[in-house]
Amino acid sequence: MADLVIRPSGLTSWNDCARRGFASMALDRMTGAPLAELMRLGSFDLKPRDNGVGAAVGSGVHAGAAYTLNTKMETGEIGNDNEAEDRAVEEFQTRTEEEGVIWDQTTRDRDTAKRQISRMTRTYRRKLAPELEPVIVERRLQAVVDDTPGQKCIVSGQPDTVAQMGEELHDLKTGVQQRANGAQYGCYGMVARAHGYPVDVFIEDFIKRVNPKNDQPDPTAMKLLTHVCEQLALDTINDIRRSIAEFESRLAHGNAPPEGAFRANPLSMMCSDRYCAAHSTPFCRSHLPAKEK
Protein backbone atom coordinates (compact mmCIF):
# COMPACT_ATOMS: atom_id res chain seq x y z
CA MET A 1 0.00 0.00 0.00
CA ALA A 2 1.09 3.62 -0.52
CA ASP A 3 2.24 5.71 2.43
CA LEU A 4 -0.26 5.73 5.29
CA VAL A 5 -1.05 9.31 6.37
CA ILE A 6 -2.84 9.70 9.69
CA ARG A 7 -4.52 12.84 10.97
CA PRO A 8 -4.37 13.39 14.74
CA SER A 9 -8.01 14.48 14.75
CA GLY A 10 -8.99 10.98 13.58
CA LEU A 11 -7.57 9.21 16.62
CA THR A 12 -10.45 10.14 18.92
CA SER A 13 -13.03 8.74 16.50
CA TRP A 14 -10.95 5.61 16.02
CA ASN A 15 -10.94 4.89 19.75
CA ASP A 16 -14.71 5.33 19.87
CA CYS A 17 -15.34 2.97 16.92
CA ALA A 18 -12.48 1.74 14.77
CA ARG A 19 -14.77 0.72 11.92
CA ARG A 20 -16.39 4.15 11.74
CA GLY A 21 -12.95 5.70 12.12
CA PHE A 22 -11.57 3.72 9.19
CA ALA A 23 -14.56 4.65 7.04
CA SER A 24 -13.90 8.33 7.78
CA MET A 25 -10.22 7.92 6.93
CA ALA A 26 -11.07 6.26 3.62
CA LEU A 27 -13.33 9.20 2.68
CA ASP A 28 -10.76 11.83 3.68
CA ARG A 29 -9.91 13.88 0.60
CA MET A 30 -6.39 14.62 1.83
CA THR A 31 -5.22 11.26 3.19
CA GLY A 32 -7.72 8.61 2.16
CA ALA A 33 -6.83 7.63 -1.42
CA PRO A 34 -4.89 4.41 -0.57
CA LEU A 35 -7.56 3.37 1.92
CA ALA A 36 -10.35 4.08 -0.55
CA GLU A 37 -8.58 1.74 -2.98
CA LEU A 38 -8.64 -1.01 -0.36
CA MET A 39 -12.38 -0.45 0.10
CA ARG A 40 -12.85 -0.74 -3.67
CA LEU A 41 -10.97 -4.04 -3.71
CA GLY A 42 -13.30 -5.32 -1.03
CA SER A 43 -16.37 -4.06 -2.90
CA PHE A 44 -17.38 -2.00 0.11
CA ASP A 45 -19.47 1.03 -0.76
CA LEU A 46 -19.63 3.69 1.92
CA LYS A 47 -22.37 6.29 2.25
CA PRO A 48 -20.80 9.74 2.78
CA ARG A 49 -22.65 11.85 5.31
CA ASP A 50 -23.13 15.56 5.72
CA ASN A 51 -21.24 17.07 8.64
CA GLY A 52 -23.02 17.62 11.92
CA VAL A 53 -23.74 21.25 12.70
CA GLY A 54 -21.49 21.04 15.76
CA ALA A 55 -18.45 20.51 13.54
CA ALA A 56 -19.50 23.34 11.22
CA VAL A 57 -20.01 25.76 14.12
CA GLY A 58 -16.65 24.69 15.51
CA SER A 59 -14.94 25.41 12.19
CA GLY A 60 -16.42 28.89 12.24
CA VAL A 61 -15.24 29.65 15.76
CA HIS A 62 -11.79 28.31 14.86
CA ALA A 63 -11.61 30.74 11.94
CA GLY A 64 -12.40 33.64 14.24
CA ALA A 65 -9.82 32.44 16.74
CA ALA A 66 -7.15 32.01 14.05
CA TYR A 67 -7.69 35.58 12.83
CA THR A 68 -7.44 36.78 16.42
CA LEU A 69 -4.16 35.02 17.20
CA ASN A 70 -2.51 35.67 13.85
CA THR A 71 -3.27 39.37 14.29
CA LYS A 72 -1.84 39.22 17.80
CA MET A 73 1.38 37.65 16.53
CA GLU A 74 1.73 40.39 13.92
CA THR A 75 0.65 43.46 15.92
CA GLY A 76 0.47 42.54 19.59
CA GLU A 77 -3.30 43.22 19.53
CA ILE A 78 -6.24 40.89 18.84
CA GLY A 79 -7.69 42.91 15.98
CA ASN A 80 -11.22 44.02 15.18
CA ASP A 81 -14.23 42.31 16.79
CA ASN A 82 -16.44 42.60 13.72
CA GLU A 83 -13.72 41.24 11.45
CA ALA A 84 -13.23 38.20 13.68
CA GLU A 85 -16.95 37.44 13.81
CA ASP A 86 -17.43 38.00 10.09
CA ARG A 87 -14.63 35.58 9.29
CA ALA A 88 -16.08 33.02 11.68
CA VAL A 89 -19.55 33.19 10.12
CA GLU A 90 -18.12 33.16 6.60
CA GLU A 91 -16.21 29.96 7.34
CA PHE A 92 -19.40 28.34 8.62
CA GLN A 93 -21.26 29.42 5.48
CA THR A 94 -18.58 28.04 3.19
CA ARG A 95 -18.35 24.71 5.02
CA THR A 96 -22.06 24.07 5.08
CA GLU A 97 -22.56 25.08 1.44
CA GLU A 98 -19.75 22.79 0.27
CA GLU A 99 -20.24 19.85 2.63
CA GLY A 100 -23.86 20.01 3.76
CA VAL A 101 -25.02 20.09 7.36
CA ILE A 102 -27.10 18.06 9.80
CA TRP A 103 -28.94 20.29 12.31
CA ASP A 104 -29.51 19.24 15.93
CA GLN A 105 -31.58 20.22 18.96
CA THR A 106 -29.16 22.94 20.06
CA THR A 107 -28.67 24.46 16.60
CA ARG A 108 -31.83 24.05 14.56
CA ASP A 109 -31.17 26.49 11.71
CA ARG A 110 -28.67 28.81 10.06
CA ASP A 111 -29.66 31.97 11.94
CA THR A 112 -29.22 30.22 15.28
CA ALA A 113 -25.80 28.94 14.21
CA LYS A 114 -24.64 32.45 13.23
CA ARG A 115 -25.70 33.87 16.61
CA GLN A 116 -23.89 31.08 18.42
CA ILE A 117 -20.73 31.51 16.35
CA SER A 118 -20.63 35.26 16.94
CA ARG A 119 -20.93 35.09 20.69
CA MET A 120 -18.61 32.07 21.03
CA THR A 121 -16.01 34.00 19.04
CA ARG A 122 -16.48 37.03 21.31
CA THR A 123 -16.05 34.76 24.34
CA TYR A 124 -12.79 33.38 22.96
CA ARG A 125 -11.46 36.87 22.27
CA ARG A 126 -12.39 38.25 25.68
CA LYS A 127 -11.58 35.32 27.93
CA LEU A 128 -8.83 33.25 26.26
CA ALA A 129 -6.91 35.19 23.61
CA PRO A 130 -5.62 37.92 25.96
CA GLU A 131 -3.68 35.30 27.95
CA LEU A 132 -1.99 33.64 24.96
CA GLU A 133 1.30 34.52 23.32
CA PRO A 134 1.11 32.46 20.12
CA VAL A 135 4.18 31.17 18.30
CA ILE A 136 2.36 29.30 15.52
CA VAL A 137 -1.34 29.23 14.61
CA GLU A 138 -3.10 26.60 12.45
CA ARG A 139 0.09 25.50 10.69
CA ARG A 140 0.14 22.00 9.21
CA LEU A 141 3.06 19.94 10.50
CA GLN A 142 4.14 16.46 9.44
CA ALA A 143 6.36 13.84 11.01
CA VAL A 144 7.35 10.32 9.98
CA VAL A 145 6.40 7.70 12.56
CA ASP A 146 7.95 4.77 10.68
CA ASP A 147 9.92 4.97 7.43
CA THR A 148 10.26 1.22 6.88
CA PRO A 149 10.12 0.61 3.10
CA GLY A 150 6.60 -0.38 2.14
CA GLN A 151 5.26 0.58 5.58
CA LYS A 152 5.91 4.31 5.77
CA CYS A 153 3.57 6.01 8.23
CA ILE A 154 3.24 9.78 8.38
CA VAL A 155 1.33 11.89 10.91
CA SER A 156 -0.02 15.13 9.44
CA GLY A 157 -1.63 17.53 11.88
CA GLN A 158 -2.59 21.16 12.28
CA PRO A 159 -2.41 22.22 15.94
CA ASP A 160 -4.59 25.21 16.75
CA THR A 161 -1.93 27.07 18.70
CA VAL A 162 1.58 26.58 20.04
CA ALA A 163 2.15 29.35 22.56
CA GLN A 164 4.33 30.68 25.35
CA MET A 165 7.71 30.27 23.65
CA GLY A 166 6.61 27.01 22.08
CA GLU A 167 6.09 25.27 25.40
CA GLU A 168 2.28 25.09 25.48
CA LEU A 169 -0.03 23.43 22.99
CA HIS A 170 -3.56 24.84 23.08
CA ASP A 171 -6.47 23.25 21.23
CA LEU A 172 -9.88 24.90 21.02
CA LYS A 173 -12.91 22.64 21.28
CA THR A 174 -16.55 23.62 20.99
CA GLY A 175 -19.64 21.52 21.44
CA VAL A 176 -22.67 20.61 23.49
CA GLN A 177 -20.45 18.53 25.77
CA GLN A 178 -16.74 18.13 26.33
CA ARG A 179 -15.17 14.87 25.20
CA ALA A 180 -11.88 13.02 25.71
CA ASN A 181 -9.36 14.11 23.04
CA GLY A 182 -6.07 13.10 24.65
CA ALA A 183 -4.88 10.92 21.76
CA GLN A 184 -5.20 13.86 19.37
CA TYR A 185 -3.16 16.14 21.62
CA GLY A 186 -0.50 13.52 22.20
CA CYS A 187 -0.09 13.24 18.45
CA TYR A 188 0.13 17.02 18.06
CA GLY A 189 2.77 17.19 20.78
CA MET A 190 5.00 14.62 19.11
CA VAL A 191 4.71 16.36 15.74
CA ALA A 192 5.36 19.81 17.23
CA ARG A 193 8.53 18.62 18.98
CA ALA A 194 9.72 17.03 15.72
CA HIS A 195 9.62 20.57 14.31
CA GLY A 196 11.58 22.09 17.17
CA TYR A 197 8.82 23.28 19.49
CA PRO A 198 9.53 22.08 23.06
CA VAL A 199 5.89 21.59 24.08
CA ASP A 200 5.44 20.01 27.49
CA VAL A 201 1.97 21.30 28.41
CA PHE A 202 -1.30 20.37 26.68
CA ILE A 203 -4.34 22.58 27.34
CA GLU A 204 -7.82 22.08 25.93
CA ASP A 205 -9.78 25.34 25.74
CA PHE A 206 -13.48 24.49 25.67
CA ILE A 207 -16.38 26.77 24.74
CA LYS A 208 -19.82 25.25 25.13
CA ARG A 209 -22.41 25.52 22.36
CA VAL A 210 -25.75 26.40 23.95
CA ASN A 211 -29.16 27.63 22.89
CA PRO A 212 -28.96 31.41 22.26
CA LYS A 213 -31.85 31.85 24.70
CA ASN A 214 -29.39 30.87 27.46
CA ASP A 215 -26.36 32.81 28.66
CA GLN A 216 -23.08 31.86 27.01
CA PRO A 217 -20.97 30.03 29.65
CA ASP A 218 -17.40 31.14 30.22
CA PRO A 219 -14.78 28.94 28.57
CA THR A 220 -12.78 26.40 30.54
CA ALA A 221 -9.10 25.54 30.19
CA MET A 222 -8.22 21.93 31.05
CA LYS A 223 -4.61 20.83 31.42
CA LEU A 224 -3.90 17.23 30.40
CA LEU A 225 -1.13 14.81 31.37
CA THR A 226 1.35 15.01 28.50
CA HIS A 227 2.89 11.56 28.88
CA VAL A 228 -0.52 9.88 29.11
CA CYS A 229 -1.75 11.62 25.95
CA GLU A 230 1.37 10.71 24.00
CA GLN A 231 1.26 7.06 25.02
CA LEU A 232 -2.40 6.91 24.04
CA ALA A 233 -1.51 8.47 20.68
CA LEU A 234 1.22 5.91 20.04
CA ASP A 235 -1.01 3.01 21.06
CA THR A 236 -3.79 4.26 18.78
CA ILE A 237 -1.47 4.76 15.81
CA ASN A 238 -0.12 1.23 16.29
CA ASP A 239 -3.67 -0.12 16.48
CA ILE A 240 -4.58 1.66 13.22
CA ARG A 241 -1.55 0.18 11.46
CA ARG A 242 -2.18 -3.35 12.78
CA SER A 243 -5.86 -3.22 11.83
CA ILE A 244 -5.17 -1.99 8.30
CA ALA A 245 -2.50 -4.69 7.83
CA GLU A 246 -5.03 -7.31 9.00
CA PHE A 247 -7.64 -5.86 6.63
CA GLU A 248 -5.22 -6.18 3.71
CA SER A 249 -4.40 -9.75 4.70
CA ARG A 250 -8.07 -10.74 4.89
CA LEU A 251 -8.75 -9.14 1.51
CA ALA A 252 -5.86 -11.06 -0.03
CA HIS A 253 -6.50 -14.46 1.52
CA GLY A 254 -10.24 -14.54 2.16
CA ASN A 255 -9.72 -16.30 5.48
CA ALA A 256 -12.13 -14.09 7.45
CA PRO A 257 -14.57 -11.21 6.84
CA PRO A 258 -12.32 -8.22 6.02
CA GLU A 259 -14.44 -5.69 7.94
CA GLY A 260 -13.79 -7.67 11.12
CA ALA A 261 -10.25 -6.30 11.13
CA PHE A 262 -11.76 -3.13 12.62
CA ARG A 263 -13.49 -3.25 15.98
CA ALA A 264 -17.08 -1.99 15.78
CA ASN A 265 -18.77 -0.27 18.71
CA PRO A 266 -22.57 -0.46 18.40
CA LEU A 267 -22.84 1.31 21.79
CA SER A 268 -21.18 4.45 20.43
CA MET A 269 -23.35 7.59 20.53
CA MET A 270 -22.35 8.06 16.88
CA CYS A 271 -23.55 4.59 15.79
CA SER A 272 -26.25 5.87 13.50
CA ASP A 273 -27.10 6.08 9.83
CA ARG A 274 -27.15 9.82 10.47
CA TYR A 275 -23.46 10.07 11.38
CA CYS A 276 -21.59 6.98 10.14
CA ALA A 277 -20.70 6.33 6.50
CA ALA A 278 -20.38 2.59 7.17
CA HIS A 279 -23.68 2.17 9.01
CA SER A 280 -26.06 -0.35 7.38
CA THR A 281 -23.66 -1.04 4.50
CA PRO A 282 -21.99 -4.43 3.93
CA PHE A 283 -18.99 -2.95 5.76
CA CYS A 284 -20.86 -2.67 9.06
CA ARG A 285 -24.01 -4.35 10.29
CA SER A 286 -22.85 -4.86 13.86
CA HIS A 287 -25.73 -2.79 15.21
CA LEU A 288 -28.36 -5.12 13.72
CA PRO A 289 -30.14 -7.82 15.76
CA ALA A 290 -28.86 -11.36 15.49
CA LYS A 291 -31.89 -12.35 13.41
CA GLU A 292 -32.89 -9.87 10.75
CA LYS A 293 -36.59 -9.65 9.96
Q: How high is the pLDDT of residue 55?
A: 95
Q: How high is the pLDDT of residue 293?
A: 43
Residues 91-113 pLDDT 10s = 999 999 999 999 999 999 999 99
147 pLDDT band (50/70/90 cuts)? confident
Q: What is the average per-residue pLDDT within 15-27?
A: 97
Q: How high is the pLDDT of residue 3?
A: 87
Q: What percent of the chain has pLDDT over 90?
A: 89
Q: How high is the pLDDT of residue 146?
A: 82
DSSP string covering the chain = -PPEEE-THHHHHHHH-HHHHHHHHHH-TTT-HHHHHHHHHTTPPP---PEEHHHHHHHHHHHHHHHHHHHHHHHSS---HHHHHHHHHHHHHHHHHHH-EE--SS--SHHHHHHHHHHHHHHHHHHTGGG--EEEES--EEEEEE--TT--EEEEE--SEEETTTTEEEEEEEESS----HHHHHHHHHHHHHTT----EEEEEEEE---TTSPPPPPEEEEE-HHHHHHHHHHHHHHHHHHHHHHHHHHHH-SS-GGGGS---TTSTT-STTT-SSBTBTTB-TTS-SS--
Q: Does this model's pTM top 0.85?
A: yes
Q: Which tops the pLDDT comparison, 1 or 144?
A: 144
- List domains and CATH numbers for the chain: 1-49+239-293 (no CATH), 51-224 (3.90.320)
Residues 148-171 pLDDT 10s = 777 789 999 999 999 999 999 999
